[in-house]
Amino acid sequence: MGKELEKSLLNKYNNLFDVYSTAELQSAFTFAEDYKSFLDHAKTEREAVYTSIKLLNNLGFSDIRSKEQLLPGDKVYRSIHNKGLMAAVIGEDKAKAGFNILGAHVDSPRFDLKPNPIYEEAEMVFLKTHYYGGVKKYQWTAVPLALHGFAVRADGTSVKIAIGDDENDPVFMLTDLLIHLSKDQMTKTAAEVVTGEELNLLIGGRPVPHKDVSERFKVGFLMILKEKYGLSERDIVSAEIQVVPSDKARDLGFDRSFIAAYGHDDRVCAYPALRAVAAQEKSKRTVMLMLTDKEEVGSQGNTGAQSQEYETFMAEVYAKTEGGYDELGFLMALENSAMLSTDVVNGYDPNFASTMDIRNNSMMGHGVCLQKYTGSRGKSGASDANAEFLAKVVHLLDEYKIPWQTGELGKVDQGGGGTISQYAANRGIEVLDCGVPVLNMHAPQEIVHKLDLYATHQAYRCFIENM
């Protein structure tokens, strides 16, 4: 009697190893392998968009600009300056009925190059860097790093750069001070133990043989740059070159339950969202995928979630399905739309328990996490989902037996964070934050649980197919 009463009244979130069948566990681990491959090919937002479009093209999607009209079952996408992506599968309902949307971001914390990055000092060649997003700077020193990017040559041709990932490639490194001389450094706060101006990437140390050259070591590097990529120092000024970890995604743990990799935030949500939308053939409502850039720095610019271009794609879908565009009808379509802002949350780490409220924190291996609100401290910058909408999502997941949990980002006074949900909500869309718990967030190597990844994919498919 007591157990039945407890079961009927208490809300518990169980470990998915106690929930999933043997077949589901196998599916989860297989899905994780596909995700690891995606990560290895998508270390920057450009690479993530390129890899996503390649998958969509293979599944029958086409550029929306190639279509005069859209019919149920049509599958289209649009690249947002090669750093963001919108995709849609047209549903049977009129566009005015609204869209079911999955939105994630594909940029991650990293180090960009400064405009004039290349210099020589002490017979070594370095690149000046500028960190992107919220990082603990000291975590990025003394670890192997790679260079990924895109550059346009003087003749207008472009080139992709990726060096440091292959086992035969050289790697690069942000140097750190040896412990033997660290007396003063060790007294500094963590925020100051390594300064931004000390984060210079070591890339070479071989001079040209011509001793009449003033910067022999720098010129030695520039010769390699010219021979391998056809680039000059002037071309680097306009290039987008990013410093990212060189490691590939790896299983973590004796039982291989976890994945250690760079860029889980937020590609661990972007990938299952991509797969969920890409798998659609027919749907009642039009379903959409929204992959954005610049989330880690505020979502500004024409590739960030605040950009008009994402809404323009929605308007184009509306116009090409409705036979024309009318502003009131489109605004009503947005108000009738439902969206999951698919971004990561912090997983409970018992090693740092003092910063987290264990009663209100997502647990590793307990499923996708629904977050009613995000924000910092007093919910600053939060998008607070309406109770009616959150209840709809909860009831839907329960109906289809999709495991989920809920929580928020640590103790109230410790800090916080935001997502792209606020920008969708500002357009009138009903939106809820919903993503994968992560350990080591924003570090060079982040950690996720394979079963959380799979549960998240299940939740995203359930949402776009049934909401």
Q: What is the CATH number of the domain that holds 52?
A: 3.40.630.10
3-state secondary structure of 447: strand
**Token code pair at residue 133:** 């997003």
- Cα 27 to chain center, whole Å? 23
Tell me which of 204, 219, 245 is where a domain ends.
245
Q: Which pairing describes strands 84-89 and 430-435: parallel, antiparallel, or unpaired?
A: unpaired
Residues 357 and 346 in one domain: yes
Which residues in 128-165 are b (16+ Cβ under 10 Å) and which e?
A: bbebbbebebbbbbebebbbbbbbebeeeeeeebbbbb
Cα–Cα distance for residue pair 135/443, rounded to 1 Å:
7
Residues 197 and 216 in one domain: yes
Instruction: Return the pLDDT at 456.
Output: 99
Q: How far apart are the first and last CA of the chain?
A: 36
**Token code pair at residue 336:** 């009738």
Instruction: Return the pLDDT at 316.
Output: 98
Residues 291 and 324 in one domain: yes
Q: Token pair 């169980």 is at which residue?
A: 14
Instruction: Return the pLDDT at 68.
Output: 94
Cα angle 105-106-112, degrees, rounded to a multiple of 5? 120
For the chain (467 residues), the mean pLDDT of every run of 10, in chain order, is 79 94 98 98 98 98 96 98 98 96 98 97 98 97 98 96 95 98 96 96 96 93 95 96 98 98 97 98 95 95 97 98 95 98 96 93 97 84 91 98 93 84 95 97 98 99 97
Cα–Cα distance for residue pair 389/131, rounded to 1 Å:
37
Residues 376 and 399 in one domain: yes
Range of the domain at 58: 2-108+262-466
Residues 96 and 31 in one domain: yes
- In a domain, residue 252? The reply is no
Compute the CA torsion angle 66, 71, 75, 79 (nearest 10 deg): 40
Residues 401 and 449 in one domain: yes
Residues 295 and 154 in one domain: no
Instruction: Return the pLDDT at 378.
Output: 79
Residues 237 and 135 in one domain: yes
Length of the chain: 467
Cα–Cα distance for residue pair 47/52, rounded to 1 Å:
8
Helix axes 22-41, 450-466, angle to 10 degrees: 90
Tell me which of 210, 245, 280 is where a domain ends.
245
In this prediction the pTM is 0.96
Residues 84 and 129 in one domain: no
3-state secondary structure of 467: coil
Residues 413 and 266 in one domain: yes
Instruction: Return the pLDDT at 7.
Output: 78
